[in-house]
Amino acid sequence: MYRRVGKNFSGQFNVKNYSKTAEGSFKEKLKDGPNFEDFLSEKIPKYDGKLKLDKNDKSRLRLPPWLKREIPMGENYAQLKTQLRDLKLATVCEEARCPNIGECWGGGEHGTSTATIMLMGDTCTRGCRFCSIKTARAPPPLNPEEPVNTAIAVAKWGVDYIVLTSVDRDDLPDGGSNHIAATIKELKNRTNILVEALVPDFAGNETCIKTIVNSKLDVFAHNIETVERLTPFVRDRRAHYKQSLKVLKMAKELNPNLITKSSIMLGLGETDEEVETTIRDLRSAGVDALTLGQYMQPTKRHLKVIEYVTPEKFKHWEEFGNTSGFLYTASGPLRQQDEARLPQLVGPEVCHRQHLDQQQPGGHVSHRPQFRSSTVPSVPRSEFQRPGPCLRLRWTRSIINNIY
């Protein structure tokens, strides 16, 4: 073995011959180095930094290693961004400064780029203290072409599951419910994908909620955001803890077979007892799917992170949610990887409930179905709960084809 160690004045390279002793010492050092199994494991590096602020501490916590993400870039990312600009569509990924944008827009490990479309513009009438979306008392008027443009964009992505969200529009008589419903109907008319709509509370207006429920959406989502004690400090003054529970319960009562979903942010100063109470309240309201994630301070003018919750603690909340009776619980610091499995688990359930609606309109599902219908393929219980990565979205597509 030889190595060039430098140039002499004549321009020739000096060559040094490695001895067997040097080579042997190098091999000895390798014995104490990482092995192949270390690269395959999903162990999180030990972090000795501070994870929780003390009382009256005005400093900011440093970001732990499990929350760090690469700078968003790549061909898929640029292509999707251009497409959204051309169609004049806003996304919550950009407006809320989501840390998962690189993985979602870049395609992640599965190679499918997708974004969460934010309907009704990029300006909200509310000013929650955790959200970086622009606010105004009188935002610009709605774009009447947005429902069609959204359907065109989603059809090009070729995905089986799409999430629609929106800003709050308290300035509109219907809160924008008819606009959201029109978008969902346009998607259903052009594609056969499953649609999840993350909607505002519409100030608890039953007519607005009924408009959304009757739009043929598959998953009705409304976020409770935080525990009851912190709600007045975290959310806008027009948002209330019990009002959010009422909205979720109302949606379930209007259509018992509709899957409902909600989300909780952790790291704002809540206690374990408060989180447990919130989870039980959501389940009592009939919520089927629950997600928990780490609050990330978008800018310096927003609420500070009080605590960075460890991955082990998120695992605890996932187990607590599953034992509380939820159809599915996604819990993680950056829950994108866990929530990406939601279509695999909720998708078959959605299609099964739609099938029951056709057989028994208005019927209530009081048990966990296991696809006993002759038109729906049977899936083992163990696979229904925890499918492998290779099964991503296959059930959803195959079951839709069988039913429709």
324 backbone dihedrals φ, ψ, rounded to 5°: -80, -5
Asked if residue 128 belongs to a known ligand binding site, the reply is yes
Contact 4, 13 (CB under 8 A): yes
Q: Are strands 2-7 and 13-17 parallel, antiparallel or unpaired?
A: antiparallel
Helix (H) or strand (E) holding 329: strand 328-331
State how far the Cα of 43 lies from the Cα of 163, in Å rounded to an integer.
31
Does the annotation place 98 within a ligand binding site?
Answer: yes
Phi, psi dihedral angles at 17 (to 5 degrees): -95, 125
CA atoms within 13 A on the CB side of 298: 16
Helical ranges in 285-329 per DSSP H: 311-323
The response to whether 351 counts as a known ligand-binding position is: no
Q: Is 124 annotated as a binding residue?
A: yes
CA max distance for the chain:
92
CB-facing half-sphere around the CA of 31: CA atoms within 13 A: 5
Q: Are 179 and 119 in contact (CB under 8 A)?
A: yes
The three-point CA angle 279-280-283 to 5° equals 90
Residues 6+ apart with CB under 8 A from 363: 256, 257, 356, 357
Please report, in range form, the residues annotated as the binding site: 93, 98, 104, 124, 128, 131
Please report, in range form, the residues annotated as the binding site for [4Fe-4S] cluster: 93, 98, 104, 124, 128, 131
